[in-house]
Each structure stands twice: as structure tokens, then as C-alpha cells.
Amino acid sequence: MRRKLAAGNWKMNGTAADLAELEAMKAAAATKQTDVLIGTPATLISRAVATAGDAIAIGGQDCHTNASGAHTGDISASMLADAGASHVITGHSERRVDHGETDAIVAAKSEAGYANDLTAVICIGESLEEREAGQTLDVIGTQLAGSTPAAATGANTVIAYEPVWAIGTGKVPTLEQIAEVHDFMRSQLVERFGEDGNAFRLLYGGSVKPSNANEIFAVSNVDGALVGGASLKASDFNAIITALDEA
């Protein structure tokens, strides 16, 4: 039985003052059966861990492929783990687009996470042009295969489908479109990893908010969400947690 996961990605947002939001999320999360994860800026990880306690897992938003070295401004997976993180987000479309990250780089970053006992949240998704050209499943299949390491398991990896055109735009795929992709990802994981392919948690991300969470969480093979803007405020994210817990 896959446990549900409500994950938030704060992106380049958050200072010490915002830990009050995390504190409010902690109170809600503690009463639910749903797992909760927040990917905070690296500057907040250790303080977020202290605030969240056992109620909310804290993750990094990226890591370098190397364990250490002359990589000014970068953060290694071991540094994330040392700060108290339990997860790392890899391959988010903003990293792929802004920093030219390839599937191979995403896989290498995920492997770096595994080496430091971090669960990798691997993000994949198509652009609007690819969607309109009817290439969605081809793109998803290629990214899933190339970004997911051979060492991936249902225990150390979460897959997040985030259609690039839906992130922060307010646009959301139809429920049928979400189901098509999530069912496809499940079939691909089972084909590659056997029965363990059924253990991978599949998250949907892209303009998830309290008003649409219930219907999205009713879709087959949607085990939770990776939430951007709506995870910055406890009032919004707590409603999403509740919707997932009741799904």
C-alpha cells in the first residue's frame, strides 16, 4: 500500500520569518495519515528540521552530482543530509530550463542523493509545444527512463509529473490527461522494475490548489502532489493535505 505524500516546493522563497508557516503546517500534518514534505531553500533546512520535528520531512531543492570540490555556490547531497534533509528534488523543469540539466544529469544527482540516504523526488514533464504536438507520452517515457537511475526503488524514489505549461500558470490538464500520464508512468515503472514499480509514489504537480485538489487526488495512480505557490501558506497547503488525506 503506497502512502500518500503531500510535497511542497518553496523554490527561491522563504526566510526565517516564514518558519511560522511551517509551524502551522506541522500542527495540521501531525493529525493526518498522509506524509508531508517541504523542500525549503538550503539556507533554511536546518532550522526547518528543528521546527518541523517528526511531523514534516524537509528536503533540498537540488544537489550537485559530485560529493565535494571546486563548485562555488553549489551544494552536495552530503551537505543536505548533514543539515538534516531527508529528500532532494531533482530535475525540476526550472532546473532543466534555466540550467540546461539533462536527463543524465538528473539521474546523476538522484544517485548522489541515494549515496547519502536521501529520497529523490524526480521531476518530469512536457512543454506546451510538446503537448500540442501530441508528443507527451514520448517525452514522458524518455525523461522517465533517462532520469531514473537503475538503483531507483519504490523506497528511495518519488516521481513527480509536472507539465511545464501548468506550473504557476493556473492552467491544469484535464483529469483524463493526468490519468493518461500517471497510468503510463506506472506501466513503464512496472515494466522496468517489476513488482517494485508499483511501490513508486507518483505525484502530480502544476497549479495544484485547494479548489482543485479533491478531483486531482481522485485520479488513478495519483499518490499525492508536488505543490509550488500554494505550499508557501499554511492555510492553502493544509487544505491540500486534508484533501489528500481524505481521498
- Strands 119-124 and 87-90 turn out to be parallel
Known catalytic membership, residue 64: no
Specify the amino acid at residue 85.
A
* CA separation, residue 205 to residues 50, 102, 126, 160 (Å): 27, 20, 12, 7
Q: Give dist(CA 19, CA 52) in Å, integer.
A: 9
**H helices, E strands: number in the chain:** 10, 8
Q: Give dist(CA 125, CA 144) in Å, integer.
A: 9
* CA separation, residue 176 to residues 8, 71, 92, 226 (Å): 24, 43, 23, 19
Of the listed 92, 94, 101, 182, which one is catalytic? 92
Known catalytic membership, residue 176: no
Of the listed 64, 101, 162, 182, which one is catalytic? 162
Helix 234-246, helix 19-29: angle, nearest 10: 20
Residue 16, Cβ neighbours under 10 Å: how many? 11
Q: Give dist(CA 135, CA 117) in Å, integer.
A: 35
Q: How distant is the alpha carbon of residue 148 from its chain centre?
A: 13
Residue positions annotated with a catalytic role = 92, 162
